[in-house]
Structure 1
Amino acid sequence: MINCFTLLFVSLASLLMPARAELVFVGDAMQHQSQLDAARTASGAYDYSGYFSAVEPYIKSADFAVANLETPLGGKPYSGYPMFCSPDAYARALKDAGFDFLFTANNHMLDRRDRGLKRTVSTLDSLGIPHVGVYANSAERNKKLPMIVNVNGFRIAMLNYTYGTNGINIQGDVVVDYMNYPDIERDVAEARKAGAELVCVCLHWGEEYHLLPTVQQKRLADKLTDLGVDMIIGGHPHVIEPMEMRLSKRGTPVFLVYSLGNFISGMRTTDTRGGAMVRVVLERDSLGVAKVSDATYRLVFVVPPGHGESNYSLIPAEASGPKSTEAWRKGFWHNAKKIFDRHNVNVPIDTLPIDSYASSGELGTKWPKKIRKTVCRLKNK
């Protein structure tokens, strides 16, 4: 009787548990001085409404959306390059746009030194935005890691590392996860031991403004593939770099993107005026084993103020923008597509109109939170 009940219980949980989840990753979410100036209102507040409106359907339709926060939230005074510091309203805008999670290990996270890092951590915590990469102290890191998120029943470990922090050294007890292979290897092993079905590693690496990965990037990507990492998400170059669907030594699919480029920034060269958003599909095979099954990309372009708008905004790069920015948009689109068409491996462009994602939450993989929480409780018993 007990065995029959157990089998029925497991079967019911399996039927309730979605066999698919969709993740969206975007590149560097930045705040240059021109962005701060444009967002500042007459009252001294910062308004980011409309920043992401044109791409929100794509972000919000995902079961889990992730961005790289490449600026500390260190409090006033705010500043752009080279020592970034942004208002809390920027993080709220990212959350309102549909982002569920932020990577924080990057070369600018110590721009306001230890105090700025600690304030960034506490601000994100107070806003209810999960994050990984930097920590107020080692005790906090030990408590948070392994960071395993439950997305439609898929248990995914989120790890994040940076090559450095622009020569700024840690003065106190804060922790930055620097890119060191033995540390990554240890963290991946601990995540698997803690029950992670899939492992996602975000790396802040490479050479700025290079459209192709360096030898060092390729070597580390190969090592992480052999280690069994399922998703390798790259950033830092501020331009796009190729992406691949490849196989590990065990024959499991691995998604790799060397650089997603800029998500939104105040940079002005052709290749830095936009970036890529990727949609990674997770599925379970007939035995219930989780795997990466598919990935597609689409390009986004940054429209600065002064072109019919008072603030910065993002648009799908395939869509026409203000006439005054069309030459830039076409140049960015041409260069990015050329790189992806030549160097991508089994990662095609998403050709669906972005507005088609607006109602996908009703028909796609997003289950009501009540059902997801119930299933998670059943699974964890």
Structure 2
Amino acid sequence: MKFLLFAKHIVCAILLFSVNFATAQKVVTRFIERDEAAEFERLDSFRMLHLMIAGNIYQNEQQIKNSYDSTRGRYSFNHELRYIQPILNLGDITIANLKTSFANDIGSPYSSPDEFALTLKYSGINTLTLANSNTGNIDKNTLQRTQQTLGTMDIVSTGAYTNNVQRNGNCPLMIYRKGFRIALLNYAILANRSEVSKEVVINVADKNLIESDLRAAKMQNVDFVIAYFDWGSNQQDIPSYTQQNLARWCFEHGVGLVVGVHPNAVLPMEFVEYYYNTQPQTGLAVYSLGNLLSSDTSLRNRNGIILDVELKKNNFTGAVTLGDYGFIPVWNYYDTITMKNRSKVSALPSAAVQDGNVFKQIPYIEQRRAANSAFEIRKALGTHSDEIQYNVTDNVVNNVDETVQLTNASLNNKLSIFKPEFMKQTDAPLLAKRQLNKEEIDTFYCIQFYAMKKLIPLDTNYYDHLKGFSVVEENGMYKYYSKGSYNLEEVMQLWLRVFKPRYKQSFIVALLNGRQVRAITLQSR
């Protein structure tokens, strides 16, 4: 009997260890309120710098249209980052990847109203990276105006330049805060670029270029280097060998932290063992931060993380090391209830939503989606990092929002005051349909994997490759199509790798202006 009882305890202990090992993390609770007096009470031999590093920030035409307040005659994007700005404002340096621009052209799919730049300022974001696919679709004048607009908001940017003269004077981006000299390097791996962007200088992920920029940073006595990459593909679930190899190479040449975006979903992080100046070191590589602000309603693309990092500097030796760090899961909620026939996206801290501390009117299904998203992120990252949870509540959100609106400044840069009344208001959304660009009228490819006489709903909760599918009724048949792309090779690889083994009758279809023009198989190629 005693043996059975002992065995029962052993089994329970093993199960408990397995559950803990699955997440392999602890939750670190922190407070939003800043105790500046406590900072001075710390030992004077060290000083601290707080970094908040987030992922992609998107805007699409529907989000812009739904953010227009016709009664006041102006745009308001306050709802998009309102619930996350108490956290972003805690960073001495808060970084994100901007996937839009400010061209003062409401008809452009790659541009946003200037009012959105003010929202970014109030949220606490003070540094933006521009080396990405969106910049590859804008011209030189648009980039110049984007830089000027961000400059008026006291937001610095890097990664894209109007010419090489501007790049030589501003790359690497040196940021000076609290006695730290931080260099931010930003690069992109672009499969293709639009012709309009040929005059724009975008940092490409070339080792020779990165090495040259690192030498320039060292000549300025840099304390710590951050490399921020736009890399990977949208269907990616794990880091590629190319990304891992590039991350290791960066560490071996003096980079202190490697982060990435582009897959629009959170990818695992890992510790990289390497040697620098003949000394063994360990670097942290976060391969994808996901989306801070999404433009896609698919569940896969609605999550992201904020990397919360503290840097520690020895005041006597000048050595800078990576201190405490952790991740904060973020969920994008598309609100279709508050305003009839309109949806508004809001970035929410997942843990606070899960516990019912913020946005208490959120539908139960969305609350569960936020919780499930956070759970998957914890499984992916928990073996390498702790989750950080701040005491974000509706009262905290309201207090922070009122403060930044009254002072016209973010909490992490109180002296940078901007008067919104001096901003030229952007024109109202266009009522008529805009003229389609070449990409939109070009051939579009997707995969037809079903054709049935009866419409049958598909459960996409367990099959990621079916998420975002569409159904078209044609000649009495219901045809099921996967998400597609203008890149035939990308769709072909997806078909060969995922769909063809599962759906023997599947094939690729080519659509022109929404109409099927041909079917593509291996034989037809």
Q: Does 1:108 align with 2:134?
A: yes
Q: Distance in 2 between matches of 1:125 and 1:139?
A: 18
Q: Does 1:273 align with 2:307?
A: no
Query: Is the alpha carbon distance of 1:256 and 1:308 closer, same or farther for their aligned partners in structure 2, counting shifts above 3 Å?
Result: same
Instruction: Report percent identity of matched pairs.
Output: 25
Q: Distance in 1 between matches of 2:85 and 2:54?
A: 12
In structure 1, the residue matched to 2:283 is: 254
**Structure 1: 5+ residue stretches without partners:** 1-14, 361-365, 371-381
Corresponding residue to 2:187 among 154, 161, 164: 161
CA displacement at 1:108 relative to structure 2:
0.8
Corresponding residue to 1:66 among 95, 100, 108: 95
**Alignment-mate amino acid for residue 254 of structure 1:** G
Residue range with higher mean Cα deviation, 266-275 or 303-312: 303-312
Q: Distance in 2 between matches of 1:357 and 1:288?
A: 36
Query: Is the alpha carbon distance of 1:282 and 1:253 closer, same or farther for their aligned partners in structure 2, counting shifts above 3 Å?
Result: farther
CA displacement at 1:367 relative to structure 2:
9.7
- What is the alpha-carbon root mean square deviation over aligned residues? 2.8
In structure 2, the residue matched to 1:353 is: 391
Give matches, 1:123-142, under 5 Å.
123-142=149-168
Q: Does 1:311 align with 2:344?
A: yes
Please list the CA deviations of residues 272-321 of structure 1 after superposition, one character each: whole Å capped at 9, or x if unmatched: 11200011110024633112123100101111121336632121112244
In structure 1, the residue matched to 2:177 is: 151
- SS of residue matched to 1:50: helix
**8 Å contact from structure 1 (residues 138, 174) kept in 2:** no
CA displacement at 1:68 relative to structure 2:
0.7
**Alignment-mate amino acid for residue 377 of structure 2:** A
Residue range with higher mean Cα deviation, 108-117 or 271-280: 108-117
**Alignment-mate amino acid for residue 35 of structure 1:** Q
Q: Distance in 1 between matches of 2:318 and 2:228?
A: 26
Q: Distance in 2 between matches of 1:65 and 1:325?
A: 28
In structure 2, the residue matched to 1:373 is: none
Q: How many residues get paired?
A: 346
Q: Does 1:226 align with 2:259?
A: no
Query: Is the alpha carbon distance of 1:171 and 1:23 closer, same or farther for their aligned partners in structure 2, counting shifts above 3 Å?
Result: closer
In structure 2, the residue matched to 1:28 is: 56
Query: Is the alpha carbon distance of 1:368 and 1:111 closer, same or farther for their aligned partners in structure 2, counting shifts above 3 Å?
Result: closer
Q: Distance in 2 between matches of 1:221 and 1:304?
A: 34
In structure 1, the residue matched to 2:227 is: 201
**Alignment-mate amino acid for residue 105 of structure 2:** K
In structure 1, the residue matched to 2:65 is: 37
Query: Is the alpha carbon distance of 1:236 and 1:367 closer, same or farther for their aligned partners in structure 2, counting shifts above 3 Å?
Result: closer
In structure 2, the residue matched to 1:336 is: 377
- SS of residue matched to 2:81: coil
CA displacement at 1:187 relative to structure 2:
0.3
Q: Distance in 1 between matches of 2:412 and 2:154?
A: 21
Q: Distance in 2 between matches of 1:288 and 1:195?
A: 11
**8 Å contact from structure 1 (residues 281, 295) kept in 2:** yes
**8 Å contact from structure 1 (residues 271, 336) kept in 2:** no
Query: Is the alpha carbon distance of 1:335 and 1:45 closer, same or farther for their aligned partners in structure 2, counting shifts above 3 Å?
Result: same
**8 Å contact from structure 2 (residues 307, 326) kept in 1:** yes
Q: Distance in 2 between matches of 1:288 and 1:357?
A: 36
Q: Distance in 1 between matches of 2:185 and 2:216?
A: 11
CA displacement at 1:357 relative to structure 2:
8.9
In structure 2, the residue matched to 1:118 is: 144
**8 Å contact from structure 1 (residues 205, 237) kept in 2:** yes
**8 Å contact from structure 2 (residues 103, 111) kept in 1:** yes
**Alignment-mate amino acid for residue 41 of structure 1:** D
**8 Å contact from structure 2 (residues 172, 213) kept in 1:** yes
CA displacement at 1:170 relative to structure 2:
5.8
Query: Is the alpha carbon distance of 1:160 and 1:368 closer, same or farther for their aligned partners in structure 2, counting shifts above 3 Å?
Result: closer
Q: Distance in 1 between matches of 2:412 and 2:127?
A: 18
- SS of residue matched to 1:292: strand
Q: Distance in 2 between matches of 1:189 and 1:29?
A: 30
TM-score, L = length of structure 1: 0.82
CA displacement at 1:93 relative to structure 2:
0.7
In structure 2, the residue matched to 1:182 is: 208
- SS of residue matched to 1:99: coil
Residue range with higher mean Cα deviation, 232-241 or 289-298: 289-298
CA displacement at 1:195 relative to structure 2:
1.4
RCO comparison, higher one (Cα < 8 Å, 6+): 1
**8 Å contact from structure 1 (residues 254, 292) kept in 2:** no
**Alignment-mate amino acid for residue 143 of structure 1:** G
**Structure 2: 5+ residue stretches without partners:** 1-42, 355-361, 401-410, 416-525
Query: Is the alpha carbon distance of 1:17 and 1:64 closer, same or farther for their aligned partners in structure 2, counting shifts above 3 Å?
Result: farther
Q: Distance in 1 between matches of 2:205 and 2:413?
A: 37
CA displacement at 1:244 relative to structure 2:
3.2
**8 Å contact from structure 2 (residues 226, 256) kept in 1:** yes
In structure 1, the residue matched to 2:320 is: 290
Q: Does 1:213 align with 2:239?
A: yes
Query: Is the alpha carbon distance of 1:20 and 1:248 closer, same or farther for their aligned partners in structure 2, counting shifts above 3 Å?
Result: farther
In structure 2, the residue matched to 1:97 is: 123
**Alignment-mate amino acid for residue 328 of structure 1:** R
Q: Distance in 2 between matches of 1:46 and 1:16?
A: 47
Q: Which has the larger radius of gyration?
A: 2
Q: Distance in 1 between matches of 2:265 and 2:197?
A: 32
**8 Å contact from structure 1 (residues 28, 70) kept in 2:** yes
In structure 1, the residue matched to 2:112 is: 86
